[in-house]
């Protein structure tokens, strides 16, 4: 089944997150964002030249808005990964479908229409899961990274909305990702210059930076194949397996400790996101919630 490519994508995104956690021990967040984005720029620029595609766009302002929000979400997520258990950081970022669904509900209410109670229940249940994770169970100094991780989920939802709008006007996905990567490189460079570049490099640190840059485009390719060839609803739900992969990597590689109520909160968030995805797919109640890009390229 072609939808199973999403499992490959989810595993690659989880591996990318693990590499980010390793790299965060040697490099600042801005440097990690810079190197993660540079690989995308090089790969997509080469693709455009080989395939004879044009990089020119008539909607540069839309790309800038989408890219700035997306890079901010990416940076916040990377910051959270470096300071939280891997599964927790991944879950907070994957809360973006909850925010997207909340946007859908808001648009329904603003239009004076009736809100599907099951959809509202999914959002409420999902945020109960968020509260279970965010209750004072973190170690000292982890409260702020947790809130920043949740903010990355909110900003990701906004970025996905911009991606959907770009798709509606005919912008190809590769060009959207190219400008996102270009913006990430520029903002990452500015941030790294402000923070100060790392002067002492280690083979492990450099390998992790390279792995972050390689895993991201491979994960995007697998995800694109899953959505292009597989069943949309099944593919959209399989993407949440990235949370499970990340949590397992956190336990096995980083010896992360996740409290029982946080595990329960993770399960609640996954269940509510899956249910919301199914409900929206079955009954388009407003401008469609596009969960197909969740965690795709922030």
Sign (positive or negative) of CA dihedral 167, 168, 169, 170: positive
Tens-place pLDDT, residues 102-111? 777 787 788 8
What pLDDT is recorded for position 290?
A: 42
Question: Is 298 domain-assigned?
Answer: no
Tens-place pLDDT, residues 45-77? 998 999 999 999 999 999 999 999 999 999 999
Question: Is 134 domain-assigned?
Answer: yes
* Confidence category of residue 187, pLDDT binned at 50, 70, 90: very high
Question: Is 76 domain-assigned?
Answer: yes
Tell me 116's DSSP state: P
Q: How many CA atoms lie within 13 A of 77 on its CB side?
A: 30
Question: Is 22 domain-assigned?
Answer: yes
Dihedral angle computed from the Cα positions of residues 68, 69, 70 and 76, in that order, rounded to the nearest 10 degrees: 110
Are the C-beta atoms of residues 241 and 10 closer than 8 Å to each other?
yes
Question: Is 138 domain-assigned?
Answer: yes
The helix (run of H) or strand (run of E) holding residue 178 is helix 173-195
Q: What percent of the chain has pLDDT over 70?
A: 86
Tens-place pLDDT, residues 256-281? 877 787 788 888 888 887 777 677 66
If one counts the domains in the chain, the total is 1
CA distances from 176 to 147, 162, 219 (A): 28, 10, 16
> Considering only CA atoms, which of 240, 237, 230, 228 is closest in space to residue 278?
237
| Model-wide pTM > 0.85 | no
Are the C-beta atoms of residues 123 and 102 closer than 8 Å to each other?
yes
Question: Is 105 domain-assigned?
Answer: yes
Higher pLDDT, 89 or 276: 89
Question: Is 9 domain-assigned?
Answer: yes
Residue that has been written with the tokens 């940076």 in this structure: 75
Question: Is 284 domain-assigned?
Answer: yes
Instruction: Name the residue range of residue 138's domain.
Output: 2-293
Residue that has been written with the tokens 């995308």 in this structure: 40
């Amino acid at each position: 089944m072609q939808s199973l490519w999403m499992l490959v994508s989810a595993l690659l995104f989880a591996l990318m997150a693990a590499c980010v956690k390793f790299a965060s021990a040697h490099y600042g967040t801005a440097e990690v964002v810079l190197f993660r984005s540079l690989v995308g720029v090089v790969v997509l620029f080469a693709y455009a030249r080989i395939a004879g595609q044009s990089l020119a766009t008539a909607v540069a302002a839309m790309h800038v808005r989408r890219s700035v929000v997306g890079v901010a979400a990416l940076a916040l997520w990377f910051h959270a990964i470096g300071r939280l258990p891997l599964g927790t950081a991944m879950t907070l970022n994957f809360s973006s479908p909850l925010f997207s669904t909340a946007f859908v509900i808001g648009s329904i209410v603003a239009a004076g229409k009736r809100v599907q109670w099951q959809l509202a229940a999914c959002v409420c249940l999902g945020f109960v899961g968020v509260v279970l994770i965010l209750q004072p169970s973190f170690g000292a100094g982890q409260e702020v990274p947790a809130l920043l991780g949740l903010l990355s989920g909110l900003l990701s939802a906004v970025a996905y909305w911009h991606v959907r709008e770009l798709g509606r006007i005919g912008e190809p996905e590769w060009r959207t990702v190219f400008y996102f990567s270009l913006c990430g490189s520029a903002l990452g460079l500015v941030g790294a210059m402000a923070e100060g570049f790392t002067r002492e490099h280690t083979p492990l640190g450099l390998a992790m930076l390279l792995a972050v840059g390689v895993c991201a485009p491979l994960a995007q390719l697998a995800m694109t194949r899953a959505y292009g060839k597989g069943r949309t609803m099944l593919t959209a739900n399989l993407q949440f397996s990235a949370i499970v992969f990340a949590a397992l990597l956190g336990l096995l590689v980083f010896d992360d400790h996740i409290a029982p109520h946080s595990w329960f909160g993770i399960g609640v968030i996954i269940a509510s996101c899956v249910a919301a995805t199914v409900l929206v797919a079955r009954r388009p109640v407003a401008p469609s919630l596009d969960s197909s890009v969740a965690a795709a390229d922030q």
